[in-house]
Structure 1
Amino acid sequence: MNTGFRDTSEQDRPLARPSRRRPLLLAGGVGLAVLTLAAVLYGGQLTQRLSTGSAVSAARLTLATVDVGPLTRDVAGEGRVVAAQSPTLYAPGAGTVTLAVQAGDPVKRGQVLARVESPELTNRLAQERSNVDALKADLARAEVEARQQTAALQSAYENARIDQQTAQNDLARQTQAFEAGATARMQVERAQDALAKAKLALDQARDLRGLKTDSLALDVRAKQSALSRQQLLVSDLERQVAELAVRSPVDGQVGQLFIADRTNVGRDAKLLSVIDLSALEVQMQVAESFARELQPGMPGEISGNGQRWAGQVSSVSPEVVNGEVAARLRFAGAQPEQLRQNQRLSVRVLLDRRDKVLGVARGSFVDEGGGFAYVVRNGVAEKVAVKLGARSLDRVEIVSGLSVGDRVVISGADNFKGAERVLIAD
């Protein structure tokens, strides 16, 4: 009996070595497919690069999406408070000015602010008043003389009328005597001649009375006209003398003094200004391009000191200065209190508002080109012709060329150098 251990030679079997051809073929096929796909992708990218301009980093661009939304066109800026009425007062005549107020003093309408001492004007008024007294005396004398001459003419007329009546009565007596044979015919003829002379004298007296009366009336009226003219002159001089006391035309505050007290000035010299604080407006400077659309009555908004007030355009200056136009807004409601001349406030004027407008955020592309825009699709910016419409401070209307959802380069397009297609690099 064999007691030794048997080895494992009986259990071990040599295995057939597997063939490695098929896995290698499979691995080779997969690798070839990957290389082919990479070549296609690289080729497509290479083709795309060859068909576009130079690449531009996306960090240097600003993009915005085209959408439909409200478009509000307005003009905003800084304004300053000005008085709607700020009259400047001038010297009504030459003389020495005595000021009755100081700058900043509150004043009432009709209050005396300054007095002008004009000896020349005062003396002239006294002379013209003396002339008025002389003309009054001349008029009274002419009226008395007219009454005297009228009475004399009336007396002459009455005497002529009586003489006519006497001649007529004498003719009647001579006629009766002649018919009775008591007198000669010659006496009748003499009485007839006397009556004719009396009638002629009466007619002359009546005509002379009418002509002389008209002449006397004309003289009296001439004296009256001269007196009236002189009284008008005196009234005008009295007005000028009264205006030597310069009065405030409005309730408000003394603004600026243009002269010192006791200064000798000429006629129409600037004395001082008065600010009407009851009617304040806000003046703003508007660019000429926007000023063409500004019209009185447009709504606006005035804000300052944490408050907002409704406003309305009251006037637009017709003059352009340094490319800007001055526009004024008045408060639509009650005027706020505690406002001061030249105080700074924020102003906004609404030009137009539409709710549903196809547009995009405003950028430099609006001013740089205006007729085209770059639309980004699949990492490439393509130059597209567009037509722009209304423009606001932050938005511009798209009339044609773009659709909702298009991504547009609104800033930085100058890096494209006008190329038709530009690759956008991440």
Structure 2
Amino acid sequence: MIRDTSAQDQTISQRSQPQWRRWLWPAVATVVVLAGIGFVAKGWLGGSRSFDGARLRIATVGRGDLVRDIAADGRVIAANSPVLYAISAGTVTLKVVAGDVVKQGQELAVIDSPELRSKLAQEQATLAGLEAEAGRAALDATLARATASKVTDQAAIDRQAAARDLERYQRGFDGGAVPQVNLAKAQDDLKKAEITLQHARSDAALQSQGADLDARNKRLLANRQQAVVDEVQRQVDALTLRAPFDGQVGQVQATQHTQVAANAPILGVVDLSRFEIEIKVPESFARDLAIGMPAQLTSGSGQPFPGEISAVSPEVVNGEVVARIRFSDKQPEGLRQSQRMSARILLDTRKNVVKVERGPFVEQSGGRYAWVVSGSTASRRPVQFGVSSLGEVEIVSGLQPGEKVVVSGTDLFGEAERVSIN
């Protein structure tokens, strides 16, 4: 007989499955779907608009020292770089070319102006005539004083003779040899001689004053003409352009052997011993800058050089203010105009303040609001800012350390009070 497997089989009793187990997995799936819908609904309810987080820059509020400094790239400029101009129209002859090193007093260019040289000759001739007239007036004054002196001396002699005649007639009258009428006539002659002497002295003084006044007027006219000649001579001497100091010829703006107009620029001279750094500072820092404020300049080699602010422009151009920094100790060797240098100006340091990274949000909304990020939602909150540097801004109120703030991209939010960030 063939055996089957009946001996190995076992009878299993059938049990009924509970009703709740059949609905377990559908219920779980339903809960998950509802949770997802709730999460999405929460995001939509939390913000009126949704924005891509990749377009925003978010920074964390912290606490620490806030260093207020200004860092800017500047260019080297000559502190003393005058431009020489033509004092009169004429033909220019250049003695140097751009880049030549020159010494003080060296000829740089000569302008040939026949008109100015002719004017000088005319004024010199006029001066010679006035000098001759002044000399003649001085000689006339001397002659007048001599004539007046001669007349005065003659009157004095006549008075002395009259006095002697009166004395002789007086002795004769006293002796009875001379009548009284002769004595009276001698007395009258003495009085006449005295009056003549008095008038001679007065006329001599007046003639001397008149002659001196005339000579003085002639001399003043000659001196005035001398001043005119000196001025024209100065202009003629200025036709030769000379280096005002030791330096280097900059840009040459005239062409060799060409006619130039009066007051036309000819060339510039650069003082190689004095350079300054010109920087441009945002206008928000302009009120903090002051002449004499210390600065640090860094050349291409990285070596720092001390400096100080020498000038601050009173004009704002394209939101920037131009300032100049001069070397307070020594300047690097081999500097050239328009060379780039880095400048750092330390304004002050605020200890242990609440601060955050500076961004466009500081200037938006008048600097009164900040967008605080909480999870995937950003809400607008009133804040108060303090001082700021190039990289950070002080938080006076409205934010606490550890909170996150949207520092860039808030212009996309408009006037919304709350937005969603994806």
What TM-score do the two structures reach when normalised by structure 2? 0.83
Q: Deviations over 1:87-127 (max 9, x none)?
A: 00011222221110011111111111011122222233333
How far, CA to CA, are the matches of 1:381 and 1:148 in structure 2?
109
Q: Deviations over 1:240-273 (max 9, x none)?
A: 2222211011221111111111122232221111
Determine if contact 1:52/1:420 at 8 Å carries over to the other structure. Answer: no
Match of 2:272 among 241, 261, 277: 277
Change (3 A) 1:365 1:127: closer
Q: Which runs of 5+ in 2 are unaligned?
A: 1-12
| Partner residue, 1:366 | 362
| Paired residues for 1:78-227 under 5 Å | 78-227=73-222
Return the offset for 1:170.
1.9
Match of 1:302 among 297, 301, 310: 297
**Partner AA of 2:406 in structure 1:** V
Return the offset for 1:295.
2.2
Q: Which runs of 5+ in 1 are unaligned?
A: 1-16
Change (3 A) 1:152 1:381: closer
Change (3 A) 1:403 1:204: same
Q: What SS is found at the alignment partner of 1:262?
A: coil
Match of 1:388 among 380, 385, 388: 385
Q: Which moved more, 1:188-197 or 1:37-46?
A: 37-46
How far, CA to CA, are the matches of 2:230 and 2:411 in structure 1?
77
**Partner AA of 2:121 in structure 1:** A
| Two-structure CA RMSD over aligned residues (Å) | 3.6
**Aligned residue pairs, count:** 408
Does structure 1 residue 399 correspond to structure 2 residue 393? no
Change (3 A) 1:27 1:372: farther
Match of 2:227 among 223, 232, 239: 232
**Partner AA of 2:391 in structure 1:** D
**Partner AA of 2:104 in structure 1:** R
How far, CA to CA, are the matches of 1:220 and 1:107 in structure 2?
50
Q: Which moved more, 1:201-210 or 1:286-295?
A: 286-295
How far, CA to CA, are the matches of 2:77 and 2:257 in structure 1?
30
Determine if contact 1:309/1:331 at 8 Å carries over to the other structure. Answer: no
How far, CA to CA, are the matches of 2:173 and 2:56 in structure 1?
145
How far, CA to CA, are the matches of 1:236 and 1:57 in structure 2?
77
How far, CA to CA, are the matches of 1:157 and 1:332 in structure 2?
77
| Paired residues for 1:9-24 under 5 Å | none
How far, CA to CA, are the matches of 2:227 and 2:104 in structure 1?
28
How far, CA to CA, are the matches of 1:283 and 1:420 in structure 2?
44
Return the offset for 1:85.
0.9
Does structure 1 residue 73 correspond to structure 2 residue 68? yes
Change (3 A) 1:152 1:46: closer
Q: Identity across aligned pairs (percent)?
A: 44
Return the offset for 1:328.
1.5
| Partner residue, 2:406 | 409
What TM-score do the two structures reach when normalised by structure 1? 0.82
Change (3 A) 1:97 1:382: closer
Determine if contact 1:283/1:328 at 8 Å carries over to the other structure. Answer: yes
Return the offset for 1:424.
5.7
